Amino acid sequence: MKTDDYRVKPDLPLDLSKIPSEDNGGLEREEGEKHFRRLRKRLRELQELHYAERTRGMLIVLQGMDTSGKDSTIRTVFSGVGPAGVKVVNFKKPNSREIEHDYLWRVHPHAPRNGRTVLFNRSHYEDVLVVRVNNLVPKERWEKRYDHINDFERMLTEEGATIVKFFLHISKRYQKQRLQRRLDRPEKHWKFDPGDLPVREKWDEYQQAYQVALQRCSPGHAPWYIIPAERRWFRNLLVARVLVETFERLNMQFPKPTFDPRSVVIPD
């Protein structure tokens, strides 16, 4: 399994309808889950090293249609990771104060500081997705936002941040199954929002909006990965694999102590 096969190449055409959402990377589930456990352990080690080194931040973006598993991915992949260096930020509908500012105003304060790993559960990309599909601002405004976003992410990386972005890819059929599951199980009723159904009616428009955003905003320093998300074990495995490879490319080192550990005597 080569993670580069799932990375969006901005110079190549993209058609989400032709990308399988049930891909398993040629692995059986048992084998995949075994690999995932090793990767998750390695991810914990690397995140601790990243937190200790404190020379750069890590920004992880997750996007996807409803039921694609953003919450579940974060919960599973980062299970056991030290909470001191990890923060999850959820971007909902802008409130009255946020909407009076530029659309990146509410995003920038959450960019990771050195040593921190920040996960965006939805993100600044909503402003070329929801805003575009629902015509919340004129086209001449949202059309410029792809360049804004590229400039924003380039600035973050040039200031020391590492950025990796995941689109959790599912089919419309799979979404229907997951929504029906929420209706059929009383303990899942709280997860069902009737307001999601009008969004589902615009499935094709959202897929087109995602295609454009993925193609136009996947430079080498802030790549998008399309993650087949219907086999949840493979979704978790692939996300963990990309993150481990991303952290390892940083060639991190534990900081040297500012004292001689051999000289320290801990009193009884």
Q: Encoding tokens for residue 245? A: 């490879």
- At residue 12, the pLDDT reads 87
- At residue 116, the pLDDT reads 96
CA 172/CA 66 separation, integer angstroms: 10
Q: Which amino acid is at 230?
A: E
- At residue 160, the pLDDT reads 95
Contact 164, 245 (CB under 8 A): no
- The pTM assigned to this predicted structure is 0.95
Query: For the chain, which ranges sit under pLDDT 50?
Result: none
- At residue 81, the pLDDT reads 87
CA 184/CA 222 separation, integer angstroms: 40
117 beta partners:
58, 86
Instruction: Please give the distance of CA 30 from its chain centroid, rounded to a whole number.
Output: 25
The CB-side HSE value for 224 (13 A sphere, CA atoms) comes to 23
Tell me if the domain spanning 3-250 has CATH number 2.60.40.10. Answer: no
- Triad 9, 69, 46: Cα angle to 5°: 70
Domain ranges of the chain: 3-250
